[in-house]
Amino acid sequence: MGNRQDSKQGGLRSRAWFDNPENPDMTALYVERYLNYGLSLEELQSGRPIIGIAQTGSDLVPCNRHHIVLAERVKDGIREAGGIPIEFPVHPIQETGKRPTAGLDRNLAYLSLVETLYGYPLDGAVLTIGCDKTTPSALMAAATVNIPAIALSVGPMLNGWYKGRRTGSGTIVWRAREMLAAGEIDYKGFVELVASSAPSTGYCNTMGTATTMNSLTEALGMSLPGSAAIPAPYRDRQQCAWETGRQIVEMVKADRKPSDVMTRAAFLNAIRVNSAIGGSTNAPIHLNAIARHMGVELSLSDWEEYGADVPLLVNLQPAGEYLGEDYYRAGGVPAVMGELLRAGLLEEGALTVNGRTAAENVAEAPIENEDVIRPFSRPLLEAAGLTVLSGNLFDSAVMKRSVISDAFRRAYLSNPDDPDAFEGRAVVFDGPEDYHGRIDDPALGIDIDTILVMRGAGPIGYPGGAEVVNMRPPSYLIEKGITALPCIGDGRQSGTSGSPSILNAAPEAAAQGGLARLRTGDRIRIDLRQHRVDALVEADEWGRRGEEVEKAMAGFTPRSQTPWQEIQRGLTGQFDTGAVLEDAVSFQRIAQQRGLPRDSH
């Protein structure tokens, strides 16, 4: 039947299913089953685009559950513009509920969404996004299949409140843990305090991974301008759903595909926006993964080069004080991008889903509240991007500068001889169970001179990479007012945590990275100016330990509990390159390069 979709004259790819004169028998077979659902032959053969709505909300994913409501407005918009909506489920990924990690499921949801978008009669897709991993998995799949696609954020929850103060999702958990450890609240108070941060439907209302990735999706140009920050329950969110439905039909008519939008220029915009919003340390993992599936060159060094010097403008927890509703009212992503544009820090020509450029979308966007979104001239923090570090413990790791507190700076970074370097004694934990079991043991001798190390928490070791590198100090230190110690690890850190951590170390210990050679008692030197982290262990001894590790690891495979854990462990890359299924990357842009799938019968 040939590759009809490659030629513009060939029209919609759904015609190959529903109206293929070269194979009328198969057309009858395809049409029959969709008539069964209630669509008419007239509709199916009308030449209208069939638009898939990739539904990520469900009872298992409360963060995205409001998409079930929003999908009705998306359908209204699609029909209004002349399209036919078809909603289908996406493998559920909920960040806090999925054990051992939601990270494990990102690549699984990606794989299954690729098969769905590619293998069914869809001309375009609305990607419903929200909870942390639902966003990257959807964009990764859209990049691979490369049919017109637009993302719709579910939006953050309303602000949380407790006794007159804002309580933000995730962030309040770290604070509540400190209060519980210090005896300021009991367990009932702990639950009450944590639950106060989640007052409505929607995703985490802090600048955690969800708000970050939904903001970066807009910065990439993959969702409508101004759409990311709208709180889930607001009427504006429903209106945005309707507009998104209308827009995807226009995109199919214009043949505007992910490869037209997610260019290198778009990724550079997203990197800068990530610094300006104080985005999660999970962002480089996911954005690099999306770029690799799109076939766009993007590396961790780009994050340093383009993002490091961008100031922090958004005053949201955990780096600041406000929450999602405030972010929206202050102007959201367009206000931030408008400041970057005026500062000359935007790739102006990057095309977005609405057919306009990034610059055109945000040129007139005002900041409505300068306490929540600061003007570029009056930032919360200069140079707020990620620092990329390397040394004998890992080839790469990242550190988010915007969450390093003043107290931490005073304690650690104020050596007058060398203000950007410090040393400490390593206390090493093999996984979070080991940490929880021993952290309060006085025999470990943890004090202000200690650097806490977490290993065995990477994409292979955990598996999927656990958000466990942010470790609170022992209770006896918290009682003395020491609420944070520097942490290093091969896992991730929750985007809502405020501790000063060196994360995403690659290669991880389970891949025989340098962390596997480290022992409790070793001195570690962190030099932020030189971008180095090194164990101060003599070269001979370090080499000898390397041989030991190699022997110990021969035949060593962390025990898998499900088939997917085992499969993913064999195929995943490390955090620095997006922790993607390496075999999947070479299949980027399948719809263009490989044509349509063959008939099913």
The DSSP line for 184-252 is SS-HHHHHHHHHTT--SSSB-SSSSHHHHHHHHHHHHTSS-TT-TTS-TTSHHHHHHHHHHHHHHHHHH
Task: Map the footprint of Mg ion across residues 417-476, applying CB under 5 A.
Answer: 467
Task: Specify the residue, 95 or 325, whose C-beta has the smaller distance to Mg ion.
Answer: 95
Residues counted in the chain? 601
Give the pairing type, strands 396-400 and 501-506. antiparallel
Q: Binding-site residue total for ligand FES (CB under 6 A)?
A: 11
At 310, list the tokens: 């961008």
Tokens of 583: 């075999």
Task: State which residue, 205 or 494, has the beta carbon closest to Mg ion.
Answer: 494
* Of 118 and 174, CB closest to Mg ion: 174
Residue 250 interacting entry, from Mg ion, ligand FES, none, C-beta within 5 to 8 Å by type: none
Query: Contact between 63 and ligand FES (CB under 6 A)?
Result: yes
Tokens at 210, concatenated: 């969800």
Nearer to ligand FES (CB atom), residue 173 or residue 518: 173
Nearest-angstrom CA–CA distance, 81 and 73: 12
Q: Which residues contact 535 (CB under 8 A, 6 or more apart)?
A: 391, 392, 393, 426, 514, 517, 518, 522, 523, 524, 542
Question: Which one, 250 or 467, has the nearer CB to Mg ion?
Answer: 467
**What is the distance between the alpha carbons of residues 287 and 295, in angstroms, rounded to a whole number?**
12
For Mg ion, give the closer residue by CB, 60 or 448. Answer: 60
Pairing of strands 450-455, 487-489: parallel
Tell me the HSE value of 389 on the side-chain side, using a 13 A CA sphere: 30
Q: What letter does residue 38 receive in the DSSP assignment?
A: T
Q: How far is CA 584 from the centre of its chain?
A: 19
- Indicate the residue among 66 and 472 with the shorter CB distance to ligand FES: 66
Binding piece for ligand FES, criterion CB under 6 A, among 92-100, 245-253, 364-372, 522-530: 92-100
- What is the smallest separation between the CB atom of 132 and Mg ion, expressed in angstroms? 6
Q: Does 131 bind ligand FES (CB under 6 A)?
A: yes
Nearer to ligand FES, 176 or 268 (CB): 176
467 binds, among Mg ion, ligand FES, none (CB under 5 to 8 A by kind): Mg ion
Radius of gyration, alpha carbons of the chain = 24
Least distance from ligand FES to the Cβ atom of residue 153, Å: 11
Q: Find which of Mg ion, ligand FES, none residue 494 binds, CB within 5 to 8 Å per kind.
A: Mg ion
Q: How far is the CB of 91 from ligand FES (least distance, A)?
A: 15
Beta bridge partners of 312: 381
Please give the structure tokens belonging to residue 339.
Answer: 């400041």
E strand spans, 391-441: 396-400, 421-430
Q: In what order do the strands lie in the sheet with 50-55?
A: 84-89, 50-55, 124-129, 149-153
Closer residue to ligand FES, CB minimum distance, 314 or 535: 314
Stretch that binds ligand FES, among 90-98, 319-327, 450-458, 521-529 (CB under 6 A): 90-98
Output 94 or 396, the one with its CB closest to ligand FES: 94
Contact 296, 585 (CB under 8 A): no
* Residue 364: both structure tokens together: 């007139």
- Residues of this chain, 193-222, that bind ligand FES according to CB under 6 A: 203-204, 208, 210
Selected range binding ligand FES among 94-102, 258-266, 378-386, 564-572, rule: CB under 6 A:
94-102
243 binds ligand FES (CB under 6 A): no
- Return the SS3 of 318: coil
Which residues inside 152-181 make contact with ligand FES, applying CB under 6 A? 169
Binding flag, residue 494, Mg ion (CB under 5 A): yes
Partner whose footprint covers residue 310, from Mg ion, ligand FES, none (CB < 5 to 8 Å by kind): none
CB of 566 to Mg ion, least distance (A): 24
Q: What angle do CA 233, 239, 242 make, to 5 degrees?
A: 120
Among residue numbers 90 through 109, which ones bind Mg ion (CB under 5 A)? Answer: 95
Residue 203 contacts which entry, ligand FES, Mg ion, none (Cβ below 5-8 A, type-dependent) = ligand FES
Give the H or E element holding residue 86: strand 84-89
Question: Which residues have C-beta within 8 Å of that of residue 395, sequence separation ≥ 6?
Answer: 506, 507, 513, 576
How far apart, in whole angstroms, are the C-alpha atoms of residue 248 and residue 173?
39
Q: Is 262 in the site for ligand FES (CB under 6 A)?
A: no
Q: How far is the CB of 397 from ligand FES (least distance, A)?
A: 24
Q: How many Å apart are CA 371 and CA 285, to the nearest integer?
A: 30
Binding site partner of 210, from Mg ion, ligand FES, none, Cβ cut-off 5-8 A by kind: ligand FES
Comparing CB distances to ligand FES, the nearer of 64 and 390 is: 64
| Of residues 363, 118, 430, 71, the one with CA closest to residue 237 | 71
From the list Mg ion, ligand FES, none, which binds 574 (C-beta under 5 to 8 Å, kind-based)?
none
Residues that bind Mg ion (CB under 5 A): 95, 467, 494
Residues that bind ligand FES (CB under 6 A): 63, 94-96, 131-132, 169, 203-204, 208, 210
